[in-house]
Structure formats: structure tokens, C-alpha cells
Amino acid sequence: MKTIVVIPARLESTRLPNKLLLELGGKSIIKRVHEQCLKAKGISAVYIAVDSLELKTHCEAFSDNVILTGKHHQSGTDRIATAISEIECEAIINVQGDEPFIDPKLISELAIAIQNTTMVSAMCPITNISEVEDPNNVKVVTDLNYKALYFSRSVVPFNRDGINFDTITYYKHLGIYGYTKDFLLKYSIMKPTSLEQIEKLEQLRVLENGYTIQMVTTHHNAIGIDTITDYNNAKKLV
């Protein structure tokens, strides 16, 4: 199965303007993401789907696979669906443009997992109760076969009887996805659903339409950069 990585890259950001162009150890955030993706095994090519000429020019300095899409896309998934319409491939891994520390091994694991289903994503155990209670950390619960049952910003599962935290496994959803090309194109034309709009989580559209998302467990806790605090912490890591 020919699998590619597409990095949806939007220049404008409400909380941290032009964040993808910010420098981390002498390289822009988007360049670091691209370099991590190139290290993944089982990937035929890495593309960057951008929304502006400024970002396109910047990315073309280190990649030949830069695709300019419109500014109208509501999500990274929509941007990728437009970008891959004329690319010959069977599966796509969606890596967020603001995660410069994404683990190449996780990308490879999703590339393997997508060969047996139509959509995959990743989750990691949460070991700190404050992270569980943080609505910025999306939680996921699964069935016994690790297929997603629900995603929420709330604490799920809810610990009604106050069971010792150490005996419960909570999972944080990581914003990396894999889809077959056929399913991605189908997904991109689905109308927004009620739970998706309430939680502001586009992956719920998949579940509400009766499809499944196979979850891959990892202990790699991806660090995204959404705020100036995130950026300052990232500089310390670099």
C-alpha cells in the first residue's frame, strides 16, 4: 500500500500568529515537523499542504512537495483532501504542522495499522490527574479491540465511585491520523455533526456517521505548539 504523509499547514493562528514560522534551534517549526516525517519508515513521500504564498515560499526552500490550497478549509482534514486529490496514493498519514517533536516510529506504526482498516489514530496513557482534567487534553475511550467509542474534552470515563486514580487508565488522544484515500475523500464531504460541534472535535464526525477509528497505543506524548507558553517550553526542549 503506497502511503504518504501530508502536513496541513495554516499560517494564521488565533492564539499564536505565524507560529509555524517561529524558530526552534535555528529551524522553523514546520521544517522540524517535515524532517521528523522524513525519518519515518514505510512512507513513500512527505507533502506539505499550505494556505498562503508566504508559507509556500518558506517550505519550498527545503521541500519539493509543497501544495498551495485555499484559505477556506475548516480543518486540516479538508485541506489534505484537496491536496491529495491528484496524488497517486492509497493511504495518507496526517501529521499536524505544529508538532516538531512527533515520533517517526509512531508515524510508521500508523502506516502499518492503516493497511487493515480505513482510519487510524493514536493515544497515550495519562499519568497525571491534572492532565486528565485539562479540557485542552482530549481523552478517548475504546472498546476491547481498541476501536474508539468516544472522544471528549471532559473526563472520560467518569470516576463515579472515586476509585484510586492509579487503578484507572486514562488515554490522551494524539492529533495524528491515518486514512485510506477513499475514506478520506468520503469523510471530507460529510456534514458537521452535533457532537462534533459541541466538543469541537472533528473526529466525532466519523463515529457519528457509524464508522470506526482504530486506535494505536504509544507512550510518546506528542507536544503541540498552540500558545506562547508551549513555544517557550519547546525552546527549552530543543
pLDDT tens sequence across 76-91? 788 899 999 889 999 9
Domain of 225: which CATH number? 3.90.550.10
Question: What is the count of structural domains for the chain?
Answer: 1
Buried b (16+ CB within 10 A) or exposed e, 170-202: bbbbbbbbbbbbebbeebbeeeeeeebeebebb
CA distance 157 to 29: 34
Range of the domain at 24: 3-237
Q: pTM score, two decimals?
A: 0.94
- Tell me the per-residue pLDDT of 195-238, one tens digit each, with 9 for 90 and over: 999 999 999 999 999 999 999 999 988 788 988 999 999 999 88
CA dist 236 to 17, 167, 227, Å? Answer: 20, 33, 15
* Burial group, residue 32, by CB count within 10 angstroms (0-12, 13-18, 19+): buried
CA distance 218 to 229: 25
Omega of the bond leading into 157 within 30 degrees of 0 (cis): yes
| Residue-level pLDDT, tens digit, the chain, 238 residues | 999 999 999 888 778 989 999 999 999 999 999 999 999 999 999 999 999 999 999 999 999 999 999 776 777 788 899 999 889 999 999 999 999 999 999 999 999 999 999 999 999 999 999 999 999 899 999 999 999 999 999 999 999 999 999 999 999 999 999 999 999 999 999 999 999 999 999 999 999 999 999 999 999 887 889 889 999 999 998 8
Concatenating the DSSP letter of every residue in 8-47 gives EE-S--SSSTTGGGSEETTEEHHHHHHHHHHT-TT-SEEE
